[in-house]
Structure 1
Amino acid sequence: NKDAMESVRLWDWRPLKQTYKQLQELKQYYFFNDVDVDRYIIDGKKIAVNLSARELSIDGLGGNAQTWQNRHLIYTHGYGAVMSRVDRISSEGLPVFMIQDIPPKSDVGIKIDRPEVYYGEHKNSYAITNTSIQPGEFDYPSGDENKYTTYAGTGGIKLDSFFKRLLTAVAFGDVNLLISGNISSESRVLFRRNIVEIAQTYVPFLELDDDPYLVISEGKLYWIIDAYTQSDQFPYSTPISAGGKTLNYIRNSVKIVIDAYNGRISCYISDSSDPIIKAYAKIFPNLFKELKDVPEGLKSHLRYPETIFNIQSHMLLKYHMTNPNVFYNNEDLWAIPTQIYGSSEEPVHSYYLVTTLPNEKRSEFILILPFTPYKKNNMMSFLTAKCDMPDYGQLQLYQLPKDKLNYGPMQIEARINQDPEISKQLTLWSQKGTNVIRGNMLAIPIKESIIYIEPLYLKAETSEMPELKKVIVAFSDKIVMENDLPTAIEKLFFGSGFATDAEKSDTRGMSLKSMADRASFHFSKAEEYMRAGNWKGYGEELESLKNILNQMKSQGN
């Protein structure tokens, strides 16, 4: 499953957020609220990425800078975003950025022409733009100087009358709005700048997902929020507790899109079969649009939400049983497996990845979660949800063969602890005062089997920046730990790793298929060395690839 191996989410959002903070916040008044997972077409291939908006945190200004003018007239917006591949690691154990810095620099052709973030996840107070304050509205830092701008959007309210200024002064309890000489008839007051507050005000009858995510489309930044209709009154339906509420009916009926520059909101009906949203659409005929009206640049980034997927997964633990007697006696209950994260045991979370599912021909962006038998640790099955059009929303349950042992996540965790080489290294790091963070255990489907991948992050006691230093890969009865995924895969399946040139190119006794697989790994490794600027490693891998191709040619003849 080459597609899956090229988009394995080695970077978990929790340590990655800390790393983004140290490397890319750049100034004390910038802030990364969250790290999202999405997919983009890069060089003709669908690639999974992490990305985050660089938002403004006005409280980050120094004490003397906390003036009314700075808080409301000068520092008004965040700037740009960062993006990195989920599967790439630099030689220093850091993410490989595709978009970074200020102004945003892109290595992959994804441009951000409108990088200003006036509306985001972070809660900032109101801002007043288009004022006469000098030197102007702060845009971004550039070396020893600052760049300034004038807002050209349509967000907020234009303060073109005394009455409007009076009302806003009363609304915000701030007399400066009324008396400031910097405010003119061309000024605009931007308020309610938190995207969740915008959506709650616009569609208060919908329940909002707690994980809005950023999308870069046609040079602009957008936020997408999943919204739900729900009830606890649906007949003959088992209730479940979710988000502090008890419900027995939920539909992801609406996709909300908010422009990060203008704050403009659009609501698209994503489940036209839902009777509740049908009723709301008749009550408010101009409020909702059809899903087909979503711009193509945004439609390709719609995700099946984890919230509803997790609810469906929990219901499936019991309701996968179709035999009445088996169901009544709870003979085949399933469970959500657990894993080691950091140093603590926790449930496995559903996760997004790009992969080619069994019996499918194309790579897809999916959401996946494995299952184990109740009070047992071996893997039984996994549920997937497709995110790409035209198959968006299709759920598929895959059951593994029952005639052989399929290791579950905690069984792999136990084998990691019992492996002499790995456990020795983990102990050595701990004795040196290094904090070892065991990342998410990822179960990747490979035909009728599962390959497990777990990243290891190291963080010094004096540092706030985790570094991804090792990758553990397990398949069947084999388990290995290497510096990166291609090397670990090579060692797992071919046994030798990248020890010597002779070993690298020795393909005696191998089938053409195995030789082709090995050639593919050498090519992937060469690409990685090229991106990292390691030209010695790049040349060695190309030489190994050349030797294998020559031997394949000889064997074919």
Structure 2
Amino acid sequence: LGDPKTGKPQFNLTSAIVGYKRNYMSAYLQANSDPQNYGKLTVLKLPADSQTPGPGQTQTSMTTADQVSRDRNLLTGGNVNKIKYGNLLTLPVGDGGILYVEPWYLERNTGGPNAPSFPQLVKVLASYRDKVGYGATVKEALDQILPAAGNAATDQPGQTVTPPTQGATPPANPPPPTGSTGKDAAVKQLDDALRAVQDAQKSGDLGALGKALEQLQNAVNNYQKAGG
């Protein structure tokens, strides 16, 4: 979080507070965790007549948005995948505005409680006032609700980003590695599968993402067979 007076970043533990038996936010609590102000509590109180949606209401409005619902149905069809939501972040922005950001993960159903499975970031949800943002990255989601805010919130000095080819299709799954070099081949297959998932996430192609996740699961299985 940024200090409202200096604009410098701070490390804070935060919590959104709703009124008793109400769904609207009533206050925002933050505990400073920087050494110089460690333990200092700050409470930002909303006006008594405010009707700012709380975390529960916002979670519902974001996850039931049209595009979000369509993508969720597409990716979870046939019970092959399951959706997992990350922590819902609540941040005060501007003059009384509340920004919500939440990651959205996809995990393949592998058919057994002890089978390995790796949640993968698929989309990012964001909400500000009455707008809902939805994109493959935090930047994309923020730009939909606060134009040009994505760069300011995510760009770091010296950081460069190379966008993936749109609609990129992950390579076909190679056969299980065998022989004395099987483990090394399995590691390479696993690395390739992870890169394919990342490229598919950035491209926004949900069909390619489904194939990439299948490729990743096969790579994990092959790695285990190779003694990984």
Q: TM-score range by the shorter chain?
A: 0.5 to 0.7
1:321-336 equivalences in 2 (<5 Å): none
For the pair 1:441 / 2:88, whether they are aligned, the reply is: yes
**Residues 439 and 382 (structure 1 numbering): CA distance in 2 closer, same or farther, change over 3 Å?**
same
- CA deviations on 1:357-383 (whole Å, 9 max, x unpaired) are 434542111111110011111111111
Specify the code of the residue in structure 2 equivalent to 1:411. Answer: Q
Relative to its length, the structure with more strand (as a share) is 1
Q: TM-score, normalising length from structure 1?
A: 0.26
What letter matches 1:466 in structure 2?
A: P
Cα distance in 2, alignment partners of residues 486 and 418 from structure 1: 21
Q: 1:490–1:521: 8 Å Cα contact kept in structure 2? A: no
TM-score (norm. length: structure 2): 0.61
Is the 1:458–1:467 contact (alpha carbons within 8 Å) kept by the matching residues of 2?
A: yes
1:387 is matched with which residue? 33
Partner residue of 1:477 out of 116, 130, 133: 130
- Work out the CA distance in 1 between the residues paired with 2:67 and 2:38: 43
Q: Which amino acid aligns with 2:88?
A: M
- Cα distance change of structure 1 residues 358 and 400 upon mapping to structure 2, 3 Å threshold: farther
Contact 2:133–2:143 (8 Å) recurs in 1: no
- Is residue 2:161 matched to residue 1:529? yes
Residue 492 and residue 359 in structure 1: after superposition, are their counterparts in 2 closer, same or farther (change >3 A)? same
Unpaired runs of 5+ in structure 2? 111-115, 167-228
Q: Show the counterpart of 1:454.
A: 102
Letter in 1 for 2:159: E
Q: What does residue 401 of structure 1 align with?
A: 47
Aligned CA RMSD, in angstroms, stands at 2.8
- Note closer, same or farther for the CA distance 1:528–1:455 as it changes in structure 2 (3 Å cut): farther
Please say if residues 357 and 445 of structure 1, whose CA atoms lie closer than 8 Å, have aligned partners that are also in contact.
Answer: no
Displacement, 1:392? 1.1
Structure with greater Cα Rg: 1
Please tell me whether the aligned partners of residues 83 and 104 of structure 2 are also in contact (alpha carbons under 8 angstroms).
yes
Q: 1:519 to 1:383 in 2, by over 3 A?
A: closer
How far the C-alpha of 1:391 sits from its partner, in A, is: 1.0
| CA–CA distance in structure 1, aligned partners of residues 142 and 84 of structure 2 | 21
> Which structure: greater helix fraction?
2
Matched AA of 1:470: K
1:409 and 1:469 map into 2 onto residues whose CA distance is 21
CA distance in 1, matches of 2:63, 2:154: 30
Q: Does 1:492 align with 2:145?
A: yes
Q: Where in structure 1 are there 5+ consecutive unaligned residues? A: 1-354, 495-513, 538-557
Superposed displacement of residue 527, structure 1? 3.4
